[in-house]
A and B are shown apart, each in its own frame.
Chain A
Amino acid sequence: MRRLLFATLLVSAAAIGYEILLMRVLSIVQWHHFAYMIISLALLGYGASGTFIAVLRSRLESRFETAFATSALLFSMAMLACFVAAQRVPFNALEIVWDSGQFLNLTVVYLVFFVPFFFAACCIGLAFTCRGGDASRIYFFDLFGAGLGAVLAIALLFIASPQTALVLLVLLPLAASGLVASMLASRLPLAGVQFTWLALLAFGIPQAHLDLRISEYKGLSQALQVIDSRILDQSSSPLGYITVVDSPTVPVRHAPGLSFNTRHIPPEQLAVFTDADGMSAITRYDGDPGSVAHLGDLTAALPFGLLEEPAVLILGAGTGSDVLMSLYHGASRVDAVELNPQMTELVAQRHADFAGRIYDDPRVTVHTDEARGFVSRNDDAYDLIQIGLLDSFGASGAGVQALNESYIYTVEALRAYLDDLGDGGLLAITRWIKMPPRDSVKLLATAIDALRQSGVSEPGQNIAMIRSWNTSTLLVKNGAFTSAEIERIREFARSRSFDTAYFPGMRAAEANRFNRLAEPYLHDAAVALLSDSSGNFLERYKFDVEPATDDRPYFFHFFRWQTLPEVMALRTAGGAGLIEWGYLVLVATLVQAAVLGLVLILLPLSLVRRTWPAGTGRNFGFYFLLLGLAFLFVEMAFIQKFTLFLSNPLYSVAVVLSGFLVFAGLGSAASERLARSLPWRGVSPVSVAVAAIAVLALVYVFILPAVFGRFIGLADPAKIAVSLALIAPLAFFMGMPFPLGLTRLSGLAAGFVPWAWGINGFASVVSAVLATLLAIEFGFNVVIVLALALYALAAWDEAVSRSR
């Protein structure tokens, strides 16, 4: 039995580890939003395996060890084979508008990744079904393994490339297969395959098969096509896959929104790609300010036109461009905050000579930290807080960031920045301009809201915005702009052929002079947003430009359903760029999850012979559907919420996922005891658990922002401990309704149990994606409240079915 338990632990660890690894890899080879697809996939595999086992139960039971060992071996092989195969599917997300065949390709990717999770889930499902007497111990090892897998995957990604991490993870189910096979009397054929697979892993997999096949339309792939370009450096961690590219023949020259009037050509640069996209650049600096004089001719240089020797805080120092700009303009002090130490190392060490050792300048201090955390702990007052362009225009333009949570550009964030400014200090935020404007309008709306919430009665006095043809720079002042400052803004813009979009007292005729748009969109937007009819403007705008908040931190989400028919009609006439594709891919994922869930989980179940009493489906089916939806709603909302606290989506997934698994498992184990020990007659233990969930979740909705604010400055391990402490009680009670229902069902209609698993699995598949869509539209708190309503409905349904 012990061998089986360890085998279960290994399979479970590998499954979660693989899930996290795939999320990382898909962010590199495709884009971030495929991460959501993976969570849904894993659950689909689990749901379908339950059905598979239910259908073939009698045949599998008699050959349990062989079936387990074979499934584990197939899982091990599929992990690698599907990793290789999926990358060979010619899926091009950008071509979806032109080529409907891309939807087929997306489905193929989905199905390929379904396979390994199916085999993993077969192992776990077989253990539960065939060794039911030890269910509680199996459950513990399953959940403990899952938690361990999450931690292991993150650790591996810190020390090894994704490919090496994959090969190491593949060994876990192989070992599990070996362990269980050793329980067999006749194990020769299986052992032969296991040994061959091990030998192949050790010596036979050509590296080329494992190479990441990055979409040829991502920035890195494009840069490497240029004559004589070459990779200088590559490093990988859970925070990003960083690649430095040198292009000596056609040098990189990254200077967003450089003035047409400039006489200064940017010097040679090294291109730096994060996750094969989002290009930024390390600029060659020889110590001669004249060599980087172009830095005075960017829109982002505007604040330096108003400040003398400012103390500067840079949030998101990246490759050091803003640090160099601050030094060029004579900053007295520069605090540069960068989350990713790999990025800092590039400028501080690996290419320090190229970058002119700017991080060694006595005025510069680099902090490896998360922006919000740094700001909330900071007591200094700065003259300037600068947030530069950290994403590439390509990513921004294609709408692929739509699903990225960004806690940098929320109302709460801007308020925190304003708190760290001295009197008269400036917050400067530069963004790419999309046409028709989206980012810049949302930024204006967010800044105006932040000022209003900070008690500024006339926010229009504190903001100014200029734009080039492709960038805009917003200034938010801690105080009202003076007429002398306004004159300097005017002059800065005019001399560089930048347009002023807004400053206090600006006349409409002053907008739209050099870079003419069909309408002076940004000026009109600023005036409308500052007026009493701002709500009306936000409602009538064809893109979602409502201010981003910590509850709905999708700054890059602009999609509106009302606009879809119009832009779809225009798509082949050059309107494709108006469509926010990231969001639509998520909707497509939801549809796929629902269809595949029906086909792979529920349809096969109809093959199971009906042995249960009439009315069972009505009494229990709804209950398990609601639980599946509700559990994942809460889990997904927490993953998103903890992204702010843990500073990284991957950490959040790992911690929240494993936290929920372990503590829900403990709750599940304790559910029977709760049922027995309830002091109240006639009160269902499900109702008690649901009441506890409701109280805890509602308390969290109110206290989490304060708790996060209090502890965000702690070191990562401490923050993880705080996260787990918060998750534990909620997950504990959330683990109860399912086994309580299952126990009751087993007594009344055991034959319906596979249906209960199946319906619950189907709901989970759909819920994972649906939760994200709802969060984007309505915010996380609404998702949590919806989950509570679903739980309450399930408790009511259970109570009604008891009374029947």
Chain B
Amino acid sequence: MRTLLLCVLVLAAPALADDADFEALRADLVDEVRIYAGYAGDDPFSDAVLGVIGRVERHKFVPMQQARYAYENRPLPIGHGQTISQPYIVALMTDLLEPEDTHVVLEVGTGSGYQAAVLAELVDHVYSIEIIEALATSAGKRLQSLGYDNVTTKLGDGYYGWEEHAPFDSIIVTAAASHVPPPLIEQLKPGGKMVIPVGGRFMTQLLLLLEKGDDGEIVTRQIGAVRFVPLTGEH
């Protein structure tokens, strides 16, 4: 069924007006992501996170020519040398943050706005900063038109976080940098979590999960997107 739908989409994507087709594809995607969750670890993704992956209309966050691939579990180019992450990675990052409906989240790197939209369905408010003007403008408009009133975006330097809305329950940095900006660590609440994907564009395979203890001590964990043991046999 999915293949058939994809064929239809490929041939007639511009003419497609019925969101029901996309909804079916999204349901298939959720099933795929659910299976993939087993690759990273033993814990399945929370139903809330999977529910959101099944609700947020990813095809509205990618350029029109990419819409037909929107529900394939792969990253897609969104222009300006940027990508929208693979849905599985989005689900994994979101799940790692353990979002709650009272949480205030900071996102550094709005991109197309998809990750912000996913978070917005789960938390109280998302503040998102983008450094590329064209993306900031389009993502802001897109989120607004899709009714994500609890997302606030701005164009600017994410290095210093967003002081007036700090501290944050969690922070998600979507572009890997040479170091974790100290101001972001400062703006993270004690007990808060920060997630940073590591790896080149199209190739995220590792997430850095930074946890701030109640005493302010920082501990990180490197979460592989897949379980991969580098040694064969006994070790």
A, B bound: yes
- A residues apposed to B, CB below 8 Å: 92, 94-95, 97-98, 216-217, 221-222, 225-227, 249-251, 253-258, 260-265, 393-394, 397-398, 435-437, 469-470, 497, 514-519, 521, 524, 537, 540-543, 562, 566-567, 570, 572-578
Contact between B208 and A469, CB atoms less than 8 A apart: yes
A–B Cβ pairs within 8 angstroms, 14 of them: A94-B202, A222-B81, A225-B131, A227-B156, A257-B179, A260-B180, A262-B182, A263-B182, A265-B182, A397-B200, A397-B203, A540-B235, A541-B231, A574-B224
Which of B50-58, B72-80, B114-122 sits within the interface?
B72-80
Selected contact of A435 from candidates B201, B206, B218, CB within 8 Å: B206
- Closest B residue to A226 by beta carbon equals B131
A542 CB, nearest partner CB in chain B, Å: 5
Q: Which residues of B contact A216 (CB under 8 A)?
A: 80-81
A362 CB, nearest partner CB in chain B, Å: 31
Q: Which residues of B contact A394 (CB under 8 A)?
A: 200
Contact between A516 and B222, CB atoms less than 8 A apart: yes
Q: Which residues of A contact B100 (CB under 8 A)?
A: none
What is the bound-complex CA distance between A94 and B220, given in angstroms? Answer: 28
Contact between A251 and B222, CB atoms less than 8 A apart: no
Q: Which residues of B contact A398 (CB under 8 A)?
A: 199-200, 203
Main SS at interface, chain A:
loop
Selected contact of B159 from candidates A253, A497, A570, CB within 8 Å: A253
- Closest A residue to B185 by beta carbon equals A260
Q: Which residues of B contact A263 (CB under 8 A)?
A: 182
Selected contact of A572 from candidates B74, B201, B208, CB within 8 Å: B74
Contact between B222 and A574, CB atoms less than 8 A apart: no
Q: Which residues of B contact A225 (CB under 8 A)?
A: 80-82, 131-132
Contact between A261 and B218, CB atoms less than 8 A apart: yes
What is the bound-complex CA distance between A553 and B221, given in angstroms? Answer: 33
List the 7 shortest-distance A-B pairs measured between CB atoms, nearest first: A574-B225, A577-B205, A258-B179, A216-B81, A436-B230, A398-B200, A577-B203
A227 touching B155 in the complex, CB below 8 Å, given contacts A576-B205, A577-B203? yes
What is the bound-complex CA distance between A217 and B75, given in angstroms? Answer: 14
Contact between A469 and B230, CB atoms less than 8 A apart: no
Contact between B218 and A260, CB atoms less than 8 A apart: yes
Contact between A97 and B198, CB atoms less than 8 A apart: no
A574 touching B204 in the complex, CB below 8 Å, given contacts A225-B80, A516-B220? yes
Q: Does B17 contact A (CB under 8 A)?
A: no
Q: Which residues of B contact A262 (CB under 8 A)?
A: 182
What is the bound-complex CA distance between A652 and B204, given in angstroms? Answer: 36
Selected contact of A97 from candidates B133, B179, B202, CB within 8 Å: B202
Q: Which residues of A contact B232 (CB under 8 A)?
A: 540-542, 562
Contact between A255 and B178, CB atoms less than 8 A apart: yes
Contact between A574 and B230, CB atoms less than 8 A apart: no
Q: Which residues of A contact B201 (CB under 8 A)?
A: 94, 217
Selected contact of A265 from candidates B156, B183, B210, CB within 8 Å: B183
Q: Which residues of B contact A265 (CB under 8 A)?
A: 181-183
Contact between A542 and B133, CB atoms less than 8 A apart: no
Selected contact of A574 from candidates B92, B159, B180, CB within 8 Å: B92
Selected contact of B88 from candidates A261, A515, A574, CB within 8 Å: A574
What is the bound-complex CA distance between A95 and B77, given in angstroms? Answer: 9
What is the bound-complex CA distance between A398 and B75, given in angstroms? Answer: 15
Q: Which residues of A contact B233 (CB under 8 A)?
A: 540
Q: Does B153 contact A (CB under 8 A)?
A: no
Contact between B220 and A435, CB atoms less than 8 A apart: no
Q: In residues 187-202 of chain B, which contact A (Cβ within 8 Å)?
A: 198-202
- Counting contact residues on chain B (CB < 8 A from A), the size range is 35 or more
Q: Which residues of B contact A221 (CB under 8 A)?
A: 81
- Closest A residue to B234 by beta carbon equals A540
Q: Does B89 contact A (CB under 8 A)?
A: yes
B177 CB, nearest partner CB in chain A, Å: 8
B63 CB, nearest partner CB in chain A, Å: 13
Q: Does B27 contact A (CB under 8 A)?
A: no
A577 touching B206 in the complex, CB below 8 Å, given contacts A250-B159, A541-B230? yes
The listed residue with most A CB atoms (<10 A of its CB), out of B89, B133, B159, B182, is B182
- Closest A residue to B32 by beta carbon equals A572
Contact between A543 and B230, CB atoms less than 8 A apart: yes
Contact between A578 and B205, CB atoms less than 8 A apart: yes
Q: Which residues of B contact A570 (CB under 8 A)?
A: 39, 226, 228
- Closest A residue to B89 by beta carbon equals A574
Contact between A256 and B230, CB atoms less than 8 A apart: no
Contact between B81 and A217, CB atoms less than 8 A apart: yes
Q: Does B148 contact A (CB under 8 A)?
A: no
A518 touching B222 in the complex, CB below 8 Å, given contacts A257-B179, A576-B205? yes
Q: Which residues of B contact A226 (CB under 8 A)?
A: 131-132
Q: Which residues of A contact B166 (CB under 8 A)?
A: none
Q: Which residues of B contact A470 (CB under 8 A)?
A: 178-179, 198
Q: Which residues of B contact A543 (CB under 8 A)?
A: 230
A781 CB, nearest partner CB in chain B, Å: 28
B215 CB, nearest partner CB in chain A, Å: 13
B38 CB, nearest partner CB in chain A, Å: 9
The listed residue with most A CB atoms (<10 A of its CB), out of B203, B217, B219, B228, is B203
Selected contact of A227 from candidates B81, B133, B179, B183, CB within 8 Å: B133
Contact between A250 and B131, CB atoms less than 8 A apart: yes
Contact between A518 and B224, CB atoms less than 8 A apart: yes
Contact between A573 and B88, CB atoms less than 8 A apart: yes
Contact between B203 and A435, CB atoms less than 8 A apart: no
B135 CB, nearest partner CB in chain A, Å: 8
Contact between B199 and A577, CB atoms less than 8 A apart: yes
Q: Does B40 contact A (CB under 8 A)?
A: yes
- Closest A residue to B233 by beta carbon equals A540
- Closest A residue to B212 by beta carbon equals A260
Q: Which residues of A contact B205 (CB under 8 A)?
A: 435, 574-578
**Contacts beyond the supplied A217-B81, A250-B157: 6 A-B pairs with Cβ under 8 Å:** A216-B80, A217-B202, A264-B182, A515-B222, A541-B232, A574-B205
Contact between B178 and A393, CB atoms less than 8 A apart: yes
- Closest B residue to A263 by beta carbon equals B182
Q: Which residues of B contact A92 (CB under 8 A)?
A: 77
Contact between A497 and B218, CB atoms less than 8 A apart: yes
A573 touching B80 in the complex, CB below 8 Å, given contacts A227-B132, A257-B179, A393-B178? no
Contact between A577 and B204, CB atoms less than 8 A apart: yes
Q: Which residues of A contact B75 (CB under 8 A)?
A: 98
- Closest B residue to A219 by beta carbon equals B81
B211 CB, nearest partner CB in chain A, Å: 10
Per-residue A-contact encoding for B131-155, CB less than 8 Å = 1, 0 else: 1110000000000000000000001
B41 CB, nearest partner CB in chain A, Å: 10
- Closest A residue to B74 by beta carbon equals A98
Selected contact of A393 from candidates B176, B181, B220, CB within 8 Å: B176
B90 CB, nearest partner CB in chain A, Å: 11
Q: Does B170 contact A (CB under 8 A)?
A: no
Contact between A436 and B228, CB atoms less than 8 A apart: yes
- Closest A residue to B221 by beta carbon equals A516
A790 CB, nearest partner CB in chain B, Å: 35
Q: In residues 55-69 of chain B, which contact A (Cβ within 8 Å)?
A: none
What is the bound-complex CA distance between A578 and B39, given in angstroms? Answer: 14
B84 CB, nearest partner CB in chain A, Å: 12
What is the bound-complex CA distance between A728 and B176, given in angstroms? Answer: 50
What is the bound-complex CA distance between A41 and B226, given in angstroms? Answer: 38
What is the bound-complex CA distance between A98 and B208, given in angstroms? Answer: 23
Contact between B200 and A573, CB atoms less than 8 A apart: no
Contact between B73 and A572, CB atoms less than 8 A apart: yes
A94 touching B156 in the complex, CB below 8 Å, given contacts A574-B40, A575-B225? no
Contact between A515 and B226, CB atoms less than 8 A apart: no
Q: Which residues of A contact B112 (CB under 8 A)?
A: none
The listed residue with most B CB atoms (<10 A of its CB), out of A92, A437, A566, A576, is A576
The listed residue with most A CB atoms (<10 A of its CB), out of B73, B178, B198, B205, is B178
Contact between B132 and A254, CB atoms less than 8 A apart: no
Q: Which residues of A contact B39 (CB under 8 A)?
A: 570, 573-575
Q: Which residues of B contact A574 (CB under 8 A)?
A: 36, 39-40, 86, 88-89, 92, 204-205, 224-226
